[in-house]
Amino acid sequence: MAIKQTKMKITSICCIGAGYVGGPTMAVIALKCPHIKVNVVDINELKINLWNNNNLNKIPVYEPGLKKIIKKTRNKNLFFSTDIKKAVNQSQMIFVAVNTPTKTYGEGKGMAADLTFVEKCAKTIGEYSYSDKIVVEKSTLPVRTAEKIKEILELNANPGVSFEVLSNPEFLAEGTAIKDLFKSDRVLVGSDQTESGLLAAQSLVKIYENWIPKNKILTTNVWSSELTKLASNAMLAQRISSINSLSAICEKTGADIEEVSNAIGYDKRIGKDFLKSSVGFGGSCFQKDILNLVYLSRHYGLTEVADFWHQVIKINDYQKNRFTRCIINELNGTIKSKKISVLGWAFKKDTNDSRESASIYVTDNLLNEGAEVYIYDPKVSKERIIDDLKNIWEAKKISEVDIKSKLIRLKIVDNYEDCFKKASCISILTEWDEFKKYEWKSLIPKMENQHIIIDGRNILSKNKMDKLTKKYISIGR
Ligand X SMILES: NC(=O)c1ccc[n+]([C@@H]2O[C@H](COP(=O)([O-])OP(=O)(O)OC[C@H]3O[C@@H](n4cnc5c(N)ncnc54)[C@H](O)[C@@H]3O)[C@@H](O)[C@H]2O)c1
The residues that are catalytic are 170, 229, 285
Q: Is 174 in the site for ligand X (CB under 6 A)?
A: yes
Rounded CA-CA distance 411/157 in Å is: 52
Q: Is 20 in the site for ligand X (CB under 6 A)?
A: yes
Q: Is 349 in the site for ligand X (CB under 6 A)?
A: no
Minimum gap (Å) between residue 421 Cβ and ligand X:
35
The site map against ligand X for 30-49 (x = CB under 6 A) is ------------xxx--x--
The stretch near ligand X (CB under 6 A) out of 16-24, 149-157, 304-312, 397-405 is 16-24
Minimum gap (Å) between residue 117 Cβ and ligand X:
4
Closest CA to 153 of 143, 142, 164, 144: 164
Rounded CA-CA distance 385/407 in Å is: 11
Q: Is 192 in the site for ligand X (CB under 6 A)?
A: no
Distances (CA, A) of 365 to 316, 371, 384, 404: 15, 9, 18, 16
- What residues pair up with 189 in beta bridges, in sequence order? 219
Q: Is 13 in the site for ligand X (CB under 6 A)?
A: no
Question: Which residues lie below 8 Å from residue 328, measured CB to CB, with a gap of 6+?
Answer: 334, 335, 369
Q: Is 120 in the site for ligand X (CB under 6 A)?
A: yes
Rounded CA-CA distance 197/144 in Å is: 15
Nearer to ligand X, 58 or 325 (CB): 58
Closest CA to 136 of 188, 87, 182, 86: 188
Q: Is 66 in the site for ligand X (CB under 6 A)?
A: no
DSSP state of 267: S
Q: Is 117 in the site for ligand X (CB under 6 A)?
A: yes
Do the beta carbons of residue 80 and residue 52 sit within 8 Å?
yes
Binds ligand X (CB under 6 A): choice among 8, 13, 14, 16: 16
Where are the extended beta strands (E) located within 24-88? 37-41, 78-81
Q: Using CB positions, name the residue nearest to ligand X.
A: 19
Do the beta carbons of residue 341 and residue 266 sit within 8 Å?
no
Q: Is 172 in the site for ligand X (CB under 6 A)?
A: yes
Binds ligand X (CB under 6 A): choice among 10, 13, 15, 22: 22
* 476 Rama sector, left if φ>0, alpha if ψ -120 to 50, beta otherwise: left
Minimum gap (Å) between residue 40 Cβ and ligand X:
10
The stretch near ligand X (CB under 6 A) out of 113-121, 270-278, 415-423, 426-434 is 113-121
Q: Is 380 in the site for ligand X (CB under 6 A)?
A: no
Closest CA to 423 of 331, 351, 293, 346: 331
Q: Is 89 in the site for ligand X (CB under 6 A)?
A: no
Q: H-type helices in 156-221, by residue range?
A: 177-182, 195-208
Number of residues that bind ligand X (CB under 6 A): 26
Rounded CA-CA distance 197/230 in Å is: 22
Q: Is 285 in the site for ligand X (CB under 6 A)?
A: yes
Nearer to ligand X, 100 or 278 (CB): 100
The stretch near ligand X (CB under 6 A) out of 20-28, 102-110, 153-161, 185-193 is 20-28
* Chain length of the chain: 477
Residues of the shown chain interacting with ligand X in the complex, contacts defined by CB under 6 A: 16-22, 42-44, 47, 84, 97-100, 117, 120-121, 139-140, 170, 172, 174, 284-285
